[in-house]
Structure 1
Amino acid sequence: MTTASPSVVVFGSLHYDIMVHGPARPRKGETVTGDRWHPKCGGKGGNQAVSAAKTGIRTSMIGAVADDEFGRALAENLCRNSVDHRFVKIVDGVGSGMSVAIFDSEGDYGAVIVSGSNLTLGQSDVSGAAELFTGNGVLVLQNEVLEHANVSAARAMKSAGGRVILNAAPARPLSAELAKLVDIIVVNAIEAEQFADVAVVDTLRGALNAAKLLAEKFPVAVVTAGGDGVACATNQGEEFSIEPIKVELVSTHGAGDEFTGVLAAELAKGAVIEEALQAANLAAAKLVSLGG
């Protein structure tokens, strides 16, 4: 059964992020003196849901948090950003997901993630949120929950006639079962090197080559190449690149999630893939120039 309006459903991770800023990221055994820190509600799933909702599309989150301060903050953040969080469950015996991200003076970062409650997601959560899976829905998945959970969600959306976007980050091997359920795969340059089995993706031309290789396995493949732009290829032989938007970089944190969330929203609204990618690219450029 199809609902009256298009929607985005995000199935996946919620993390409470601790953001630390310093002159450089520490090497092994090194202590670096930072200059500031602040908390931020995140997780790839949570970020993508908020980014989609900001476009005005009806957006729902299926996730898991613990009954702790981090979990309450994550739920409140979704509510504050107009994300339907009725299907974000509260679990016992494990903490909410969290991460620590360390930023250097150039705005790049490295992070450590503790998945916590996110690893409890599974078939029962998909079944409990059955009303969200509709023929005009777009489901967004990431690799911060267990593979079998993603398969369950993807199967439900495909059975309803909707579309599935997989932001395959962090990179890990994908099962054949999940791969066949994915309509659009979104990866960055580093992830593209692993999934497309190419040595280096460090130019827009290289990103397009990787996208073409990935399009042999997925209907649509999108490779984001940071400051070099975005490349896309389809299994129907269509291919194109989008040039980067020049901005003054403040921070790259969350850019990929902003891109994916806006991409899903625009597709749900009826945009064709190139139009949706243009909008997503612009949104990510604005985010990195504002520092999230």
Structure 2
Amino acid sequence: MAKHVLVAGSLHHDLVIKADTFPVADEYIAGYAPRHLPGGKGGNQAVASARSGTQTWLAGRIGDDEAGRVLRDNLVGAGVNISLLQTGAGEATGTSVAIVNGYGDFGAVVIAGANASFEADKISLPPDAGVLLLQNELPEAANLTLAEKAAASGIHVILNGCPFREIAAPLLSRTNTLILTLHEAEAMSGHSLSNTRLTLEAVESLTERVPHVIIFLGGGGMAQGERGGRPEYHPAKERKPVSMHGAMDFFVGAYASQIAGGSDFEAAAHYAQAAATLFMATPVERRDLIRATQIRARLGEDDQ
């Protein structure tokens, strides 16, 4: 029987700007095509899980401002259960500014806002929860509080270790799946992962600390491994993405949906890779139309 996903994480009202290059210190560059989009890793991942047809709850915090109302409406429209969403009186909703360059790469500056006041001790795990999904945009104390509750109930804990910060041993010990970008994997391993061999070695090393590890490599590529098994590398499937902004969150949410549905680690990871590849190849204004049927069709194409 399929279980539910509880995502506990950040909510941001994003300003996304396109530019031909990223600025360097003291440089002014021309930007274009500004867009305000619902974001935050928690919100993005909850929407991605719900888009795959999984019952999904979001525990997070917004302010009582217009940005908060936009984010709330977006979650409801995607079918996410928001009964655990907190609203801080007089608080400003979190925000971020992201720049997307001509190659689809992006960088962002994040302001936590109301996310920093999230009260994890007030969250009760929903009935039929099978997965708890966390990220590093909430305070680690909040993540640990929820991970302890989930571990005590036999719930699979997924930690998306982004943005990078040192992850304390008590939280890692309660994590079943750790998902990182190359940047975070390099920071955790302490050296550059400049080729496939080094990346796979990093995966194998990390599985000594967490049973399942995925390194998302951009463009839809990934390296994955589970404790006691042989790590694998799967190359990027999308050679010219429209934009990689939000792709990792879509990957993570898709993965969580499949674990909740009873898929094993490898099958869930491959589904997530297909989801991220489709997301990056889809124009921004059409990404909210992506559903499990299209992802599975893409998964079939990638397997051919």
TM-score by structure 1 length?
Answer: 0.93
Partners of 2:114 and 2:64 in 1: how far apart?
10
How far off is 1:255 after superposition? 0.8
How far off is 1:228 after superposition? 7.5
Contact 1:154 1:181 (C-alpha < 8 Å) held by counterparts: yes
Match of 1:106? 103
**Is residue 16 of structure 1 aligned with residue 2 of structure 2?**
no
Among residues 260, 263, 285, which one is paired with 2:277 in the alignment? Answer: 285
How far off is 1:234 after superposition? 1.8
Among residues 192, 213, 220, which one is paired with 2:205 in the alignment? Answer: 213
Match of 1:124? 121
Contact 1:204 1:225 (C-alpha < 8 Å) held by counterparts: no
Cα deviation, 1:155-175, whole Å, max 9, x if unaligned, reads 111111110000000010111
Among residues 139, 155, 159, which one is paired with 2:148 in the alignment? Answer: 155
How far off is 1:248 after superposition? 2.6
Among residues 92, 97, 105, which one is paired with 1:95 in the alignment? Answer: 92
Among residues 210, 226, 235, which one is paired with 1:243 in the alignment? Answer: 235
In structure 2, runs of 5+ residues without a counterpart are 285-304
Cα deviation, 1:243-262, whole Å, max 9, x if unaligned, reads 32134311010111011000
Other structure's SS at 2:82 match: strand
Match of 2:302? none
Q: Report which stretch shifted further, 25-34 or 144-153.
A: 25-34
**Is residue 225 of structure 1 aligned with residue 217 of structure 2?**
yes
Match of 2:295? none
Match of 1:138? 131
Match of 2:51? 54
In structure 1, runs of 5+ residues without a counterpart are none
Other structure's SS at 1:87 match: coil
Partners of 2:241 and 2:195 in 1: how far apart?
18
TM-score by structure 2 length?
Answer: 0.89
Other structure's SS at 1:205 match: helix
- Give the total of aligned pairs: 284
Match of 2:157? 164
The one-letter amino acid of 2:167's match is L
Cα deviation, 1:218-240, whole Å, max 9, x if unaligned, reads 11111111247211122223422
Partners of 2:59 and 2:256 in 1: how far apart?
16
The one-letter amino acid of 2:119's match is G
The one-letter amino acid of 1:131's match is P
How far off is 1:5 after superposition? 4.3
**Over the residues paired in the alignment, what is the CA RMSD in angstroms?**
1.5
Match of 1:200? 192
Match of 2:31? 34
Contact 1:231 1:241 (C-alpha < 8 Å) held by counterparts: yes
The one-letter amino acid of 2:225's match is A
Partners of 1:93 and 1:8 in 2: how far apart?
30
Report sequence identity in percent: 33
Other structure's SS at 1:218 match: coil
